[in-house]
Amino acid sequence: MDFLKINGGHGEGGGQIVRSAITLSCITNQPIHLENIRNNRKDKGLKPQHLTAIKILQKITSAVVIGAEIGSTELKFIPGEVESLELIEDIKTAGSISLILQVLIPAVSISQKKLSLIIKGGTDVLWSPSMDYTRYVLKEAYSRMGIEFSIEIIKRGYYPKGGGEIKLQVYPSKIKSINISKRQTDNLKLICTFSKISLKTIKEKVNEIKEKICKEKINLEIEIKEEEAIDSGASLLIYGIDNNSIIGVDSLFNKKTQNFDLDFNKIINNLVGLDEKLADMIIVPASLAQGKTIFRVKEITKHLETNLFVTSKITGCKYGIGKISEGFEVIIEGKSNSSIK
């Protein structure tokens, strides 16, 4: 068996290497051997949300998988052909559903298959995009690249019990490159969802955020929704979309400080095409789309650097990063794979 070896400890050495590697393994039909998984983390190895993603892809592709256990620092993944399926899954923790969707959506859609999935777990948890970020910000970027999906949130799930539930539909796609470089809109939208926290508290915090943003002569549309969850919690997304930019920033309600921990610079003073989180998420489809994907970001994170390196190793795509006055320009020359019809 001809495995492509990947060092899971490269660069930032986190879960993104695992997600990108298994996604691209399925799309390109390339067996991979991951070593040193999450080597730069205190709790090394695979966690429940990684295992859930691996096991769902195993079902979708009838893959042979060796080392899929909690805490495992080594994994061999031998994919078969991607198939259209209807599945019901449960992470059984507050593990991030949105990180699992980052694996499933491109793997199925770019392979020109369908997926209907009901999955339980954490919809809005630390260290991952909120579900609203996924269904508004990521969905917009993926749609422009030809990837179509829909999400129905049945129930929110916060830490520690999770228990959130969503329904995902993924559709076949023909991916394309994009060019997205400069924000042109002064219109933003704020969406806040909450459970078991007083509406008065939420409104106070949202109004504080509104005052800061409107001082910068930015228009802000606000939507506040109470949505049922097992645990108390709240999630907030601020985003802006125009023809040449897609930028979002999200935050969870910190119950200790009774506040949303938001970095306003990431949305107010960001005049480029993509936010740093979204830039990371479009690397996989960009690496396989014909032509050059060009985008601008305010900063190059270690996460983005690592993902570019790992993705180029698997697909053979070429990329370059250049400094500009507003931040950085990234160019990815995609390499269409023969397994993508």
All domains of the chain in start order, with CATH: 4-176 (3.65.10.20), 187-268 (3.30.360.20), 277-341 (no CATH)
- C-beta separation of 296 from 331 below 8 A: no
Q: Mean pLDDT across the stretch 7-30?
A: 91
Q: Mean pLDDT across the stretch 277-290?
A: 96
- Residue 239 has which token pair? 């985003």
Instruction: Give residue-wise pLDDT tens across range 167-186.
Output: 999 999 999 999 999 999 89
| pLDDT classification of 13: cutoffs 50, 70, 90 | confident
pLDDT reported for residue 41: 83
Instruction: Give residue-wise pLDDT tens across range 199-223.
Output: 999 999 999 999 999 999 999 999 9
| pLDDT classification of 23: cutoffs 50, 70, 90 | very high
308 CB-contact burial (10 Å; exposed 0-12 / middle 13-18 / buried 19+): buried
How far apart are alpha carbons 223 and 206 in whole angstroms? Answer: 10
How far apart are alpha carbons 240 and 246 in whole angstroms? Answer: 6
Over 80: is that where the pLDDT of 108 sits? yes
pLDDT reported for residue 49: 87
How far apart are alpha carbons 222 and 210 in whole angstroms? Answer: 9
The percentage of the chain sitting over the pLDDT mark of 70, rounded to a whole number, equals: 99
pLDDT reported for residue 1: 74
Instruction: Give residue-wise pLDDT tens across range 48-104.
Output: 889 999 999 999 999 999 999 999 999 999 999 999 999 999 999 999 999 999 999
Q: Which residues are the active-site residues?
A: 303
**237: β partners:** 191, 250
Q: What is the pTM of this model?
A: 0.95
One-letter amino acid for residue 50 of the chain? H
Instruction: Give residue-wise pLDDT tens across range 293-335.
Output: 999 999 999 999 999 999 999 999 999 999 999 999 999 999 8
- Residue 47 has which token pair? 């966690």
- Residue 222 has which token pair? 């606000």
Helix (H, G, I), strand (E, B) or coil at 181: coil
Over 80: is that where the pLDDT of 336 sits? no
Q: Mean pLDDT across the stretch 269-292?
A: 95
Locus of tokens 């023969």: 338
Over 90: is that where the pLDDT of 15 sits? no
Over 70: is that where the pLDDT of 7 sits? yes
Instruction: Say which residues have a Cβ less than 8 Å from residue 89's Cβ, sequence separation at least 6.
Output: 52, 55, 56, 117, 118, 119, 120
Over 80: is that where the pLDDT of 338 sits? no
Which of 250-254, 273-277, 307-311, 334-338 bottoms out in mean pLDDT, i.e. has the lowest? 334-338
Across all residues in the chain, what is the average pLDDT?
94
pLDDT reported for residue 339: 58
